[in-house]
Amino acid sequence: MSDRCAQLQAEIKSSKQIHITSQWLNYAGIQEYFAEELVISVKAGTLICEIQAALAINNQSLPFYVKNPAQSIGAAYSNGAQDLSDSVLGVQIIDGEGELLNFGGQVMKNVAGYDVARMLVGSAGKLAAITQISFKVMPSNYVKNLKPSFKTIQHSALRLEIETRLKTVFDPKGIFK
């Protein structure tokens, strides 16, 4: 575990309320990149343009639409849409109790229960602090002109119920707003 993750854990444990931003997180960089496996793991504060540049060296791309490459991958994950969710392999978070948790991994097939890594996509920082994300990547020639996926603003009763239950699991003290 990095020193910054330990600092974030301590800050969350001692806080009553936190609004997560990339500046607050201050945790960026490519953690691991296996070009031959088509997998990259990045810290949540890493700018998407930096990820794209690293992937381009091996003629690879992120397989989801990116509106603003100058934003962090954590911000894109937090506001994410279906196409981004489909690319997530794993995630590392710090929950509302300050515990560092890992879900998923760096493999394409993960059948060990609920897919928490994908369930947290679009959670807008209300459930946990996302510290690291693993994605599958694609050869650039397979990723042509990506278009934004359709994302509704309205939330169904089922989605609101799921978010409420997830909040009780990941943020029982209500730290993340």
In the chain (177 residues long), the average pLDDT of successive 10-residue segments reads 87 88 86 96 96 97 90 90 85 94 70 72 88 94 72 71 86 85
Strand 30-34 and strand 88-94: the pairing is: unpaired
Q: What was the pLDDT predicted at 145?
A: 72
Q: What was the pLDDT predicted at 174?
A: 86
Q: What was the pLDDT predicted at 114?
A: 63
Q: How far apart are CA 139 and CA 135, in angstroms?
A: 13
For residue 90, what are the β-bridge partners? 104, 134
Q: How far apart are the first and last CA of the chain?
A: 25
Q: What was the pLDDT predicted at 150?
A: 57
Are the C-beta atoms of residues 41 and 134 closer than 8 Å to each other? Answer: yes
Q: What was the pLDDT predicted at 136?
A: 94
Are the C-beta atoms of residues 84 and 64 closer than 8 Å to each other? Answer: yes
